[in-house]
Structure 1
Amino acid sequence: MSERGSSFDLEDGTPIAHVTIYSANPEGRGYISNRGPIAHLGDTYVLNGRSGFERKPGGYLEGGIAVINGSRWWPFDRAEVKTAAQEICHAAETSGAKGLYRELMLASSRGPEASVRLFGALVSSEPSDFVGLWRFGLGELGIDEPCEALERVIAQVSGRRCATELDCFYAGQCGGEPGACVAVGPEDCKGSVMCALYGMCEAIDGRCRATAPAACKASVGCKTEGRCGWHEKGRVCIVDRAEDCARSLECRRTGRCQLVDGRCEATSKKDCDALCKSRGFCELGKFGCIPQSSPSAK
């Protein structure tokens, strides 16, 4: 993936070309703030409050350029990694700006994004314009579809983060795309709560969906809530038949046995007759049959 480019002295990491620090505003987001030659890729830069960045020799980050705010490392959280990558690639494509650089991670990172510490992102001034991944430790510039390569790195990092999120457990969104958690394949969906409850066991366009009537009929939601029907356009399980309500657990537990606007509901005290005899749930409340003394009674 990487080759040695003629615009850099890769033995000591000194760029021959001019580059531009691509930062943000004085708080750290979004515009080109300083243009000029950089003596060593190991240098760091601080915001001086007047003309952008001021060079300080003796960098950190194993030969990378670290942009810091005052005496503090400028942080990029996980969502900002995507923003940084898009800014660099988009600016190079649309504005013709050359020499863009941006840090992609916290210097003190301990999280799953730590692998991004190996990379910076750079746009050369010469011999040609491209966005590259600077490998800090190796002194190599990757120029093989670099924007795509950058996004692949970010997707891998996002994927490790997404696997620990609640959306992975609940909705199967366990895989990473830049800046987002998505359902990548059936293995993500099949372990999720939404698959077990509502038959949403196949990944379509990054989301877990119910792809056939059989998935809905086999789901827990069919037995408990009467969600046995399949909505083909939305690819979700729905309540669409009165008999599914009548057979549901909610009917037996709360008297919600009637189909009303796509839901199983208790519509009159008559729906509570059986529960009144068996459990003393004789009143009609907002969410079904309830004990007569309950404050939720209508």
Structure 2
Amino acid sequence: MARILVCCLVVGILILMDDIQAQKKNQTIDLAKLAKILRRPSLKTRVIGGHVTTIDKLGGYLVAMRYYNNFICGGTLIRDLIVLTAAHCFENRNVKEGWTVEGGISRLTDSGVRRGVKDIIKSAEFRMTTMNMDVAVVLLSRPMVGKNIGFLTLCSTPLTTGKHLVVSGWGMTHPDNTGPDQLLRTVTVPVIEKRFCRNVYRLSAAITDSMFCASVLGKKDACTYDSGGPLVYDRQVCGIVSFGIGCASRRYPGVYTDVHYVKPFIEKGIKALLTRRSGRTKIKAPKY
């Protein structure tokens, strides 16, 4: 669902995995439950450290993904029929007809270009317990075209430590909230050295080759309900908001799916979806 929000008690030895497995109904952490047992960072804006923007200023590539009209995740238009997002958004939400994708909006209450979902391909390697290969490609029912609609290309080069990228979404505006914000926000964050990221997460999650970390610790980050949205460099989608411990934590950076690494899966997924749409002989979903 949304970017997984976890704060950890020192005496609890980082309960991320137990909480993820326990949430069978919504496949996300129970914020009300955690509020009673965990101390949250006293931060006031999401995207953390960012600013309000509009979809036209952003470039039109960000879309809102809803399940039975409830906002769940962000996504990225990479073709007029194809959206790139996170696999965890679809956990326990398997009815394709329940999904709609809306583009060209700045506020979640706006009316934009809305499309149904015809098909979804998730990586076969994805598991909620590991968050490895947290990537999915979505085929829309009709092309997404219209006012304030734009597209991004897939990341063409590996990311390097310190490179600055832009993340945007409708993430929570206060750590005690339980729903998305209505306003679109954006923030620029640097890529953090993977060795450092693996070290700080070592007791709670394995930072795999399909992941990278980015944030300004304690100041700038994505948060809950930014999930599935893009991390952008030079009009390329290079990351997908995946998970993290807290939001703008002073210790734990945000974790993103590395689009350059999972690019072979994405490209094969697009081919499979468009082949299905055209009515030609079906091909199997890529086994990554």
TM-score normalized by the length of structure 1 = 0.23
Structure (1 or 2) with the greater helix fraction: 1
Q: Which structure is larger by alpha-carbon Rg, 1 or 2?
A: 1
